[in-house]
Amino acid sequence: MVIDPTLMIGVPLFIAFLIPVSTFINRKFPRYLAGGTILFNLILSMLLLDAALKSPVVSYLGGWKPPFGIVLYAGPLGAMLALLISTVSILTWIYLPEYIEGGDKEKFYMLYLLLTAGATGMVLTGDLFNLFVFTEITAIASFSLLAYSKGKDEKEAMEATIKYMIIGSLSSAFFLIGIALLYSVTGTLNMADLSSRIPHADPRTVAISMMFIITGLGVEAEMFPLNGWTPDAYTGASHPVSAVFAGIVVKAGFYALARVIFSIYASSTGLGIMLVFGIITLIIGESAALRQTDLKRMLAYSSIGQMGLIITAFGMGTQLSLVGGLYALLNHAFAKTLLFMSAGAFILSLGTRNIGALDGMGKKMPVNSILFTIGAFSIMGLPFFGGFISKIVIIYASMDAGYMLIAILILSASVIELVYFLRVVQRIWMREPGDSEVKKASNASIISMMVLAAIVIVMGIYPQAFFRILGPAAGELLKAIGGA
Amino acid sequence: MMFYFASAALIAIGIYMLMVKKNLIKMILGLSVIDSGVNLLLISIGYINGKTAPIIQPGVSPSNVVDPLPQALVLTNIVIGVSVTALALSVVIRVYKHYKTLNSSEVRDLKW
């Protein structure tokens, strides 16, 4: 059976705008409509991944053949990320009802579907301007989701939103300038066409356009020094939105960055930029996380650090390092979503984000504490969790490629990571609890966290299943760059 | 050639506004100015002096029209720009409700 990737973007977009209307049927209806649509995407992306592993799935929008029409291209990498996006999306959908406040929940679900559709579009498109449009859809949906918070957190959410909006809009303007310059020297926007025409184009214009595009996309990918919005946004957002940012928005943004550097420019300068800024991002993120006293802010900086690790791994540009980077990407998407969810449950029952308040939570909320610990162990890279495999592959790959310094820096960043996560885990399990009453997390949210924890553990003890997909996915990126 | 200088100037003015102005509304105006600059850049890339609009009618053949693709891109970008500006302004209204100021250096409860 041939799967049309258009459906995975078109159906959620269409349903998203039906949701405000559907609330007339029943107040509960929008939630299930959104859930059903994401489930539809999940099933379709599984079938798509299966098909894409055999041969890339290409779909011409409106029947117009490239270079005239827009083309959707689902290789192993794009299909894998589409599956990742819909998995994180459906699990967060299960988790979220008690964590969003306010009466107009249908608006939340509408934006949530728009975000899912936009991110799916980002990973499946084969056209540069189309990538820009989907980036904007994702960005506008995430600005609005970030602003969607009521009560005492609203003030912080507003501040984070205005910061994120200004830097996000500026970055998308830069991205578009890059596209315009590239179009002026190549006369096409199709990614496959672009990569074949770039070697014959004026190299100076191409280099300038690459700088603009890297600056524009680096913001979404949390690349230093463009990540000033990240800690504020993760702190200000409501808990499911932070989880979705870590699991979907940043991953799609990073995919766009990697896709542009590998498939379009195929440039070793681009890889060098990724390597240098990736390692700086890693060190800065982890060091900043060390001195946080706010739980969500600590997780946000840890997220920056992990993205730095992934960007570094991609910057090395070997088959092995790409597999390691993709493994780290999957692990981070699942484990960090899990951490934000369980941290959300802690914060909801404690009423504060202060790490000091977590004393003895292991006795009061045992299940949630175990789930948080699993997520933390996986991010740290302890054996039998997904993070271990990803870190060992990346370090091995960096020694293999002759980057000893990078391997040392990654190891030392892992030590910092170990320190600040163990500090929290130790507070949860070793301290005596206070005598305040806590509210238990709902069963639905526990189930979705358990699924994420199970995925993380499976990634740690049975990595072969994932390597089978990641190998072709890394090969797809490397093919363009000529196996460098 | 003049158009390129004009669009570069617009983008530079917009970035200057973002960097120097403290008022949030002026910063959003700066974003709009950058957007106009980018639109002008796109249009001037497709513009060929002395040629006409790419609409099929008597006297117009594919050899004497300008490149229509940048114009489609600009239309899309105008729509995106409008919606981002509207969203930003509505966020500014709510920022004002909480902080009672539009000065961006006073809106800083969140720190490193």
* Amino acid letter for position A97: P
Q: How confident is the model at residue A233 (pLDDT cuts 50, 70, 90)?
A: confident
Question: Is the CB of B70 inside 8 Å of chain A's CB atoms?
Answer: yes
Which residues, 6+ apart, have CB-to-CB distance to B112 below 8 Å?
A231, A288
- Eight-state DSSP code of residue A171: H
Spatial neighbors of A271 by CB under 8 A, at least 6 apart, are A261, A314, A315, A316, A317, A481, A484
Measured CA to CA, the distance from residue B57 to residue B16 in angstroms comes to: 44
Contacting A residues, span 147-166, partner chain B, CB-CB under 8 Å: 147, 154-156, 158-162, 165-166
Could you read off the pLDDT of A77-126 as tens digits, one per residue? Answer: 888 999 999 999 999 988 888 777 666 688 888 889 999 999 999 998 88
B75-112 burial, b at 16+ Cβ within 10 Å, e below that, comes to: ebbeebbeebbebbeebbebbeeebeebebeebeebee
pLDDT for the residue numbered B16? 92
Can you spell out the DSSP letters for A360-427?
A: THHHHSHHHHHHHHHHHHHHHT-TTSHHHHHHHHHHHHHHHTT-HHHHHHHHHHHHHHHHHHHHHHHH
Residue A170: list chain B partners with CB under 8 A: 15, 18, 31, 34
Please name the member of B24, B77, B99 whose beta carbon is closest to the beta carbon of A176.
B77
A144 at interface of B, judged by CB pairs closer than 8 A: yes
Structure tokens at A269: 């300068």
Looking at residue A242, its amino acid is S
User: Which of chain B's residues have a Cβ under 8 Å away from the Cβ of A236?
Assistant: 110
Spatial contact of A413 and A358, defined as CB atoms under 8 Å apart: no
What percentage of chain A reaches a pLDDT higher than 70?
96
Under a CB-based contact definition with an 8 Å cutoff, are residues A123 and A82 in contact? yes
Please measure the distance between the N-terminal and C-terminal CA atoms of chain A and give it in whole angstroms.
Answer: 35
From the list B71, B80, B5, B65, the residue with the least C-alpha distance to B42 is: B71
* Confidence at A21, pLDDT banded by 50, 70, 90: confident
Which residues lie across from A73 on neighbouring strands?
A: A58
Residue A160: list chain B partners with CB under 8 A: 110
Of A138, A162, A301, which to mutate for an interface test with B (greatest number of B Cβ within 10 Å)? Answer: A162
Helix axes A386-400 and A366-380, enclosed angle (nearest 10):
10
pLDDT greater than 70 at residue A59: yes
Using the Cβ of A280 and the Cβ atoms of chain B, whether some distance falls under 8 Å is answered with: no
Residues A184 and B43: their CA atoms lie apart, in Å, by 11
**Closest approach of B51 to chain A, Cα-based (Å):** 18
For chain A, how are helix, strand and coil distributed in percent, rounded to 5? 80, 5, 15
Interface test with B, best of A136, A169, A205, A208 (most B CBs within 10 A): A169
Whether the pLDDT of residue A407 is over 70: the answer is: yes
Q: For residue A337, what pLDDT is reported? A: 92
Q: Burial, A442: exposed, middle or buried (Cβ in 10 Å; 0-12, 13-18, 19+)?
A: middle
**DSSP characters for chain B?**
-HHHHHHHHHHHHHHHHHHH--BHHHHHHHHHHHHHHHHHHHHHHH--TT-B-----TT--GGGB--SHHHHHHHHHHHHHHHHHHHHHHHHHHHHHHHS--BGGG------
CA distance A214 to A216: 5
**Residue B38: which of A340, A129, A479 has the closest Cα?**
A129
Interface test with A, best of B32, B77, B89, B96 (most A CBs within 10 A): B77
Helix (H, G, I), strand (E, B) or coil at A320: helix
Which residues on chain A are in Cβ contact (under 8 Å) with B77? 176
List the structure tokens of A393.
Answer: 């592959």
Nearest CA in chain B to A149: B94
Which residues 304-343 of A are in CB contact (within 8 Å) with B? Answer: none
Q: What is the pTM of this model?
A: 0.91
- Longest Cα–Cα distance in chain B: 64
| Each residue's pLDDT tens digit, A270-318 | 888 888 898 999 998 888 888 888 888 899 999 999 999 999 998 888 8
Interatomic CA distance for residues A102 and A161, integer angstroms? 18
Token duo for residue B20: 């120097």
> Position of tokens 């599984």?
A46
Measured CA distances, A342 to A353, A364, A374, A473 (Å):
12, 14, 10, 31
- The structure tokens listed for A231 are 């800690």
Q: Which residues pair with A125 in a beta bridge?
A: A72
**What is the CATH T-level fold of the domain B2-99, as seen in this structure?**
Helix Hairpins (1.10.287)
Q: Is the pLDDT of residue A134 over 90?
A: yes
pLDDT at residue number A151: 65
Q: Count Cβ–Cβ pairs < 8 Å, chain A vs chain B.
A: 88
In sequence order, what are the beta bridge partners of B65?
B52
| CA A225 remoteness from chain centre | 18
Taking CA atoms, what residue in A is nearest to B95?
A158
SS3 letters across A79-108: HHHHHHHHHHHHHHHHHCHHHCCCCCHHHH
Domain ranges of chain A: 267-484
The HSE-up count of residue A158 (CA atoms within 13 Å, CB side) is: 24
Average pLDDT over residues B6-23: 90
Q: State the smallest CA–CA distance between residue A102 and chain B in angstroms.
A: 16
pLDDT tens per residue, range A149-197 = 766 677 888 888 888 898 999 999 999 999 998 888 888 888 878 888 8
Q: What is the pLDDT of residues A234-276, one digit of tens each?
A: 888 888 888 898 889 999 999 999 888 888 887 778 888 888 8
- Domain assignments of chain B as residue spans, ordered by start: 2-99
Q: Can you tell me the ipTM of this complex?
A: 0.91
- Spatial neighbors of A61 by CB under 8 A, at least 6 apart, are A6, A69, A70, A71, A72
Containing A73, the helix (H) or strand (E) segment is strand A71-74
